[in-house]
Amino acid sequence: MNPNETNPTSRRDFIKTAGGVAVASTLTGMSVPAVHASGSDMIQVALVGCGGRGTGAAHQALSTKSGPIKLVAMADVFLDRLNSSYQGLNQEKGTQMEVPEDRRFIGFDAYQKAMDCLKPGDIAIFATPPAFRWVHFQYAIEKRLNVFMEKPVTVDGPGSRKMLKLAEEATAKNLKVGVGLMCRHFQPLQELHDRISNGEIGDIIAMRGYRMHGPVASFRSTPKPANISDMEYQIRRFHSFLWASGGNFSDFYIHIIDHLSWMKNAWPIKAQALGGRHYRQDAEGTPFIDQNFDTYAVEYTFADGTKFFFDGRCMDGAQGIYSSYVHGTKGMAIADPGGDFGAPTSIFKGQLANRANLLWESKDTRNPYQNEWDELVLAIRNNKPYNEVKRGVEASVVTSMGRMAAHTGQETTFEMMLNSTHEFAPGLDKLTKDSPAPLQPDAKGRYPVPQPGIVTKTEY
């Protein structure tokens, strides 16, 4: 981050520009010819990133009911992940699978080969570590492909600014782009948002979010084994490395940060935070070499002074809490009683969430993962404006802002995060299997970790 940068993007300019993109999207949808799979109602899909979330996204794409759709190409860096994904999808959706071996691509250029199998108007799914999002999106725009990309969409300032420009290019080409912030497509949260916006709990005075559970996914990592390169290890264990994923903070916590900001109809403008590494080795004494903190506590502040408190923790044996709340002058709401999109959402009189105070609770529990795909594909088939990238960047920047505040021990603003010049992994568009890893270990196989109060201008 460079406090002397001469032409920073302000949050006001950012939101103004984003609003312009939304307007342009509407106008473009009326004036630019439809971009469809040429000569057919059939939509073809390529999956780039064959882990669990990518496999799930492909399954949901093939479960849409608005017209014919099939998977025709797959790409990953790791053969075992591609094979596992293919086998699972083929078992469940075999009649919609047309992915022979010569359209299953492995390597750092596999994303290009998979998208080369598509026609303009088809769909590319991006479910790789988010560091690669701008690289893949850039190629999809060149190929005039519609896109579904998983969250987060950025992990640092330079990547966020690149994605904003690419979002404008996608809109100019009338491409449809979905972002995997599925809470926005969950009917109980949609109805709660409308009720809060209509004043049913009064003015919002505070919000709280919690995601606290044991270590999951690749939150922690021990030193790299000898039979894999640093690059491959960091991609395979991407939750452990800030360049690849924004760490567990960005990947695990973005949903709560996004949906509570949505309830407020605003994004926080600054954050201060605490965090720490409590455990440095496993029970056998093997050191943990990841970059994550075990605990995070962030105080987000909105422009009107309202506070949003977020707590995250990955520890075995500690109390688990995974929920979110909105407090108003007339009452309070449970936005999420458990998980990324728990139900029911509910509203209570006063500040005690008990049955005696219950005023309303939601009924609909349709799957938001499927909802977001149904809406994207309908927008493609009906040539309706649809581009969620700007909002995805906003949510990613706000999430990164809280992470950076914890990692530096300094108050961090939206502008500081967006305009940060610390690019975690430069040159990802030129990456090959022989490239050096963006993060280099020391002689003991350890990677740099955040040091709040010592390293204050960058996160490590």
Query: Are residue 277 and residue 375 in the same domain, yes or no?
Result: no
Query: Are residue 150 and residue 290 in the same domain, yes or no?
Result: no
Q: DSSP assignment, residue 324? A: E
Backbone angles phi, psi at 316, to 5 degrees: -70, 140
Q: Which residue has the tokens 């949903």?
A: 255
Residue 457 maps to a domain: no
Q: Residue 251 belongs to what H/E stretch?
A: helix 247-264
Query: Are residue 228 and residue 301 in the same domain, yes or no?
Result: yes
Q: Tell me the C-alpha distance between 113 and 299, whole Å.
A: 44
Place 36 in a pLDDT band, splitting at 50, 70 and 90.
low
Query: Are residue 16 and residue 104 in the same domain, yes or no?
Result: yes
Buried b (16+ CB within 10 A) or exposed e, 25-53: beebbeeeeebbbeeeeebbbbbbbbbeb
The amino acid that residue 73 corresponds to is: A
Task: Work out the average pLDDT over 21-37.
Answer: 41
Place 118 in a pLDDT band, splitting at 50, 70 and 90.
very high
Digit-coded pLDDT (tens) for 266-310? 999 999 999 999 998 988 999 999 999 999 999 999 999 999 999
Query: Are residue 226 and residue 356 in the same domain, yes or no?
Result: yes
Residue 117 maps to a domain: yes
Q: DSSP assignment, residue 121? A: T
Residue 147: give its domain's CATH number: 3.40.50.720
| Torsional sign, CA 112, 113, 116, 121 | negative
Give the neighbor-by-neighbor strand order of the sheet with 321-328: 358-361, 346-349, 331-336, 321-328, 204-213, 307-314, 295-301, 270-276, 412-413
Asked if residues 284 and 190 have their Cβ atoms less than 8 Å apart, the reply is no
Which among 178, 158, 187, 237 is positioned nearest to 368, based on CA atoms? 187
Residue 282: give its domain's CATH number: 3.30.360.10
Residue 414 maps to a domain: no
- Give helix then strand counts, H and E, for the chain: 13, 15
Q: Which two tokens stand for residue 74?
A: 């797959």
Digit-coded pLDDT (tens) for 411-428? 999 999 999 999 999 999
> Is the pLDDT reported for residue 451 higher than 60?
yes
| Greatest CA separation for the chain | 64
Residue 204 maps to a domain: yes
Q: Which two tokens stand for residue 311?
A: 């707590």
Query: Are residue 314 and residue 336 in the same domain, yes or no?
Result: yes
> Is the pLDDT reported for residue 131 higher than 70?
yes
Q: What is the domain extent for residue 240?
A: 187-366+399-408
Question: Which pLDDT value is given to residue 34?
Answer: 52
Digit-coded pLDDT (tens) for 230-274? 999 999 999 999 999 999 999 999 999 999 999 999 999 999 999
> Is the pLDDT reported for residue 18 higher than 50?
no
pLDDT over 90 percentage in the chain? 87
Query: Are residue 232 and residue 257 in the same domain, yes or no?
Result: yes
Q: Tell me the C-alpha distance between 449 and 460, whole Å.
A: 6
Q: Tell me the C-alpha distance between 143 and 361, whole Å.
A: 45
Query: Are residue 18 and residue 43 in the same domain, yes or no?
Result: yes
Q: How many domains does the chain have?
A: 2
Q: Tell me the C-alpha distance between 26 and 326, whole Å.
A: 32
Query: Are residue 355 and residue 375 in the same domain, yes or no?
Result: no
Which among 11, 4, 13 is positioned nearest to 269, based on CA atoms? 11
Residue 432 maps to a domain: no
Which among 329, 309, 342, 297 is positioned nearest to 182, based on CA atoms? 342
Residue 5 maps to a domain: no
Q: Tell me the C-alpha distance between 217 and 345, whole Å.
A: 27
Query: Are residue 168 and residue 74 in the same domain, yes or no?
Result: yes
Task: Work out the average pLDDT over 140-158.
Answer: 98
Query: Are residue 125 and residue 71 in the same domain, yes or no?
Result: yes
Residue 390, sorted as left (phi over 0), alpha (psi -120 to 50) or beta, turns out to be alpha
Q: How many CB atoms lie within 10 A of CB 174?
A: 22
Question: Which pLDDT value is given to residue 434?
Answer: 86
Checking DSSP bridges between strand 204-213 and strand 123-126, what pairing results, if any?
A: unpaired
Q: Tell me the C-alpha distance between 377 and 371, whole Å.
A: 10
CA 169 to chain centre: 20
Question: Which pLDDT value is given to residue 365?
Answer: 81
Residue 443 maps to a domain: no
Per residue, the 3-state secondary structure of 123-183, as one string, reads: EEEECCCHHHHHHHHHHHHHCCCEEEECCCCCCCHHHHHHHHHHHHHHHHCCCCEEECCHH
Question: Which pLDDT value is given to residue 446?
Answer: 85
Digit-coded pLDDT (tens) for 91-117? 999 999 999 999 999 999 999 999 999
Digit-coded pLDDT (tens) for 61-75? 999 999 999 999 999
Q: Tell me the C-alpha distance between 245 and 409, whole Å.
A: 21
Digit-coded pLDDT (tens) for 328-366? 999 999 999 999 899 999 999 999 999 999 999 999 888
Query: Are residue 235 and residue 151 in the same domain, yes or no?
Result: no
Residue 427 maps to a domain: no
